[in-house]
Chains A and B, each alone.
Chain A
C-alpha cells in the first residue's frame, strides 16, 4: 500500500476482479494465488479462458505457475533486477508508451537512465531467468492492449518490499497499463480486512479514510468531530513497536486479534520482548500463544460471524459482515469492549451500533461517504471511492491520468528509481540454501483458524526440497531432517518437490506448535512498510544421524 499510495495517492489496487476476466495479459508476480487466493484465481482463469496470456514470476513453479504460458523462475529477492531488465528491454525495443509517459508521469528520464545498466544478459545473470524469457515477458506486456499486474507477499515480504512494489508500478507506468478499463495493478491482500484496516486508519500514519495524520487540515476535521486533539506525528508500526520494546521505551501493549508470539519473524526474540513488557493486554477469540503471555485477556467475538460491521477486500469493495451466531458466554462485541475501556478511562462514551460507527466514518471519510448500510446491502458491497449516495465511480482508479486537459490529470505519477538489493542474508557455505516461506491451500497463517477443521489435504509441516538437493544431501522423501538458520533450528520431514529449483527450500508457518518455522526467518524489515523479510533466510539441512554424530 505504501508503494501505491506514494505513486498514485491512493493505497488500493487500481482494478476490479471482473477486469481480470476481460484483460489481454495477466502477470502474477510473487503470488501463488491458486493456493493462497483461490477465488481470485477463478477470475484469472476466466481471463485465461477468454484468451488472456498468463505470465507467472515466482521462484517456485507453483500451482499458479503451472497454469502459465510462461513461468519466470527467478532467484529469491531479485525482483527489482528482473523488473529493471524488463523496463530496459521495453525502452530499447521502442515499446514504451511515450504518449502516456509524457502526459501522465514524472521522473521518467532519471528512471530510464537508472535501468540502462540492466541489459538482458546482466538481468539474466542476476535473476537466473533465461534472457529469452525476460525478453518475451517484456514484449508481451508492452504490446498487450491491456494488462493486469498482480502481486502478493512474494513481493512485499522483503526488506525492500516497498521498492519491489515501486518497481512493478514503474512497468505499468512505462506501458500505460493503469487508469484504463481492464488495465491495472492488483495487490492481493493476505487477510480478509487488511485493506479495510488500513482504510480505517489502523496504520500509524493514517486517519480513518486513509487520510494523512500529518495533514493539518485532515487532523483538524477529526479534532472537531471527536472533541479531542490528535497527535500531529506518525506513530510506530509493529516493527518499530518491537524496537521500542527492545529499547525499553514501550512497556505496555494492547494486542487485538493478532498472534505476534507465533507470527513474527525471528519469533524467539519477539516472545522475549513480549515477556519483558510491564503490561500486556490481548483481545482475541482464542487463547493464543500471545494471549497466554498476557496480564489481561479480553475475550472478543468473531468479527465475521458474531458481530455486525464491514470489511474491505482486495478490489476495494466494502462489504457487510453480519452476526449469524451468538459468541460463547463471556465473549463480547468488539465495539462494546472499546466503549467499556473508554469508560474505564473516564470517558462517557455512549453505546453505539456498528451502523452508528460506520455513519460517523462516512461523515469523516469522503471516499466512503456514499456507502450507506442500505446501499451496501442492495449492491453486494461497494468499491471505494464512493463519494455520493447517488452514484458509483468507475471500477478502476486513476482514469484522471488519461484526461485531455492537464488540469484534470491531477498530480503526475512519478517513476521511482529503485536499486536492486539482494536479501539481507546471503547464502554462505555454512548456510547454503535459500529458505522461502508461504501458504498452502487448506491452511492459513499460524493455523489458529484453519486448525479448527479436518482437511484431507493436510499433511503437516514439511521442508520442501528440490529433487536435485535431496539427492546431493542424501535425504529421502519423508525423512525427518534438521533445518538450521543463523537464528535457530527446527526439525521437519522432507518433501521432495519438483516445483523447486536447486538451492531453494520452502516451508509454511501453519504449524508453529509442531514446527516453528519463524525460529528460522530473519526479522530484517523494510523501513518504509515495517514488513519483515519472511521470504528470504539462509539455512542448511542436516540429516539427523549426521547431526547427532557431529555433536
Chain B
C-alpha cells in the first residue's frame, strides 16, 4: 500500500509466536526477519538480503505448527497466528545434515559462523573421510556419467582457482551453489547474464557460457557477484593475492562508507582499508541508491588514489 501524498509505503503489523514468544512484525516479513527482530539466530548459508531467497541450502529450516515438513525460514512469509519452533531435535538433525554434507564437499573455510554452527549442531564433516584430490575436469563433466564412489574419500568440488583477469578470481572449491551470483548477474540486479548454473546433480556448477574465460564472456566486471557471494568463492584479486601472501589481516582493516567519485548517481562505497591501502570495495546492501550493487568503476576504479605517489614541490 502506498500513501498517495508522500509516496511512502505503509505496511500492517502481523503477530505470531516463535518458540513460545509473541512477536509482531511488518506484513510481508519472513520468519527469518521475525527471528532476527527478536535477536534469535537462525543459521543461513545461501540467504542474502538483496536477493530473492532461492531455498537452496536448507540450513535455515524451522518447524511451523500444522506444516507436515520443515519450512525454510528465509523465504516463508509470516502469517497471523503462526506458531514457529526454531530449535527441536528434528530441526537440529536437518541442520546437522546440511552442515556435514556441504562441509565435506565444499571448502567453507571462509564462510562466516560455520565452525561455530558445526560445534553447536554437532556436525562432523570429516566423518565422510578425507577429501578427494582436487579434480580439474568438473567443467567437462557430462551429465549422468559417474563412477561409483569407493567410500574411502569424501567426494567434493575442489578444483583449481580460475584466474583469468586482473580484477577478480573464481575459486569454485568454495562454491555452495547458492545461486546468488547468478541472480545478481541476471534478472534481479545486473541483467548481464554472464553466468548460469551448468550441469546437474553433483556436477552442477556456476559457469560462463561454454565455460569461456571471463574476458571472453559477457561479464562487465561490476563485481555484484562478489558482493553477494557468501563463501569467498568470488574474490577481489587484491584480496586473493594478499591471502596467498599471508598479508590479509581482516582484523586490522577499517571499513569506511563514502560516495563513488565517478558519475552522478551517487553510489555508496564501503572502502576496506588495510595499512592505508584500499584492498576491497563493497556497497551497503540496505542503501536505496545501490542495494549493494556497483559498476566496474565503483567496484574496481579506486586505484588511482593510491598510484599517484608523492606530489611534486
Contact = CB atoms under 8 A, between A and B. Distances in A.
A301 to B, nearest CB: 9
B165 to A, nearest CB: 4
A319 interface: yes
B254 A42 contact: no
Given A38-B222, A192-B259, A287-B311, A312 B266 contact: yes
Q: Is the interface of A mostly helix, strand, loop or mixed?
A: loop
Contacts of B222: 38
B303 A453 contact: yes
A19 B9 CA distance: 12
B7 A182 contact: yes
B298 to A, nearest CB: 8
* Residue among A42, A189, A285, A314 with the highest chain B CB neighbour number at 10 A: A42
B241 to A, nearest CB: 14
B296 A442 contact: yes
Interface string A313-328: 1110101111111101
Contacts of B214: 456
Interface string A12-54: 0000011100100000000000001111101001000100000
A39 B215 contact: no
Nearest to A189: B264
B288 interface: yes
Interface string B248-289: 000000101111111111111101010011100000101111
A442 B266 contact: no
B187 interface: yes
A451 interface: yes
B166 A454 contact: yes
B215 A324 contact: no
A452 B302 CA distance: 8
B259 A304 contact: yes
A72 B75 CA distance: 42
A550 B276 CA distance: 57
Which of A36, A305, A396, A457 counts the most B-chain CB atoms under 10 A from its CB? A305
A229 to B, nearest CB: 34
Contact of A319 (B191, B266, B286): B266
A39 B296 contact: no
A414 B219 CA distance: 46
A195 to B, nearest CB: 6
B258 A305 contact: yes
A322 B309 CA distance: 21
A195 B301 CA distance: 21
Interface string B196-238: 0000000000000000001100011110000000000000000
B265 A313 contact: yes
Interface residues of A, number: 68
B311 A331 contact: yes
A324 to B, nearest CB: 4
A456 B221 contact: yes
Contact of A324 (B254, B304, B313): B254
Contacts of B313: 330
B277 A194 contact: no
B278 A319 contact: no
A508 interface: no
A19 B7 contact: yes
A181 interface: yes
A452 B254 CA distance: 23
A329 interface: yes
Nearest to A45: B191
A240 interface: no
Given A42-B189, A396-B7, A442-B297, A285 B263 contact: no
Interface size for chain B: under 10, 10 to 19, 20 to 34, or 35 or more residues? Answer: 35 or more
Contacts of A380: 268, 284, 286-288
A441 interface: yes
A42 B301 CA distance: 19
Contacts of B219: 456
B244 interface: no
Given A39-B294, A306-B305, A395-B7, A325 B257 contact: no
Contacts of B305: 285, 302, 305-306, 325, 452
B263 A17 contact: no
A37 B264 contact: yes
A276 B197 CA distance: 62
Contacts of A322: 256-258
Contact of B289 (A17, A326, A456, A457): A17
A449 B303 CA distance: 8
A330 B7 contact: no
B306 A325 contact: yes
A232 interface: no
A339 B40 CA distance: 52
Nearest to B166: A454
Contacts of B304: 286, 448-453
Given A321-B259, A323-B256, A326-B276, A394 B5 contact: yes
Interface string B157-196: 0000000011100000000000000000001011100000
B300 to A, nearest CB: 5
B292 to A, nearest CB: 10
Contacts of A182: 7
A304 B267 CA distance: 11
B247 interface: no
B278 to A, nearest CB: 7
Contacts of A314: 264-266
Interface in A288-321: 297, 299, 302-306, 311-315, 317, 319-321
A107 interface: no
7 contacts: A39-B294, A193-B264, A304-B269, A319-B268, A449-B301, A450-B297, A457-B220
A-B complex: 4 closest residue pairs judged by Cβ atoms: A313-B266, A189-B264, A452-B304, A299-B311
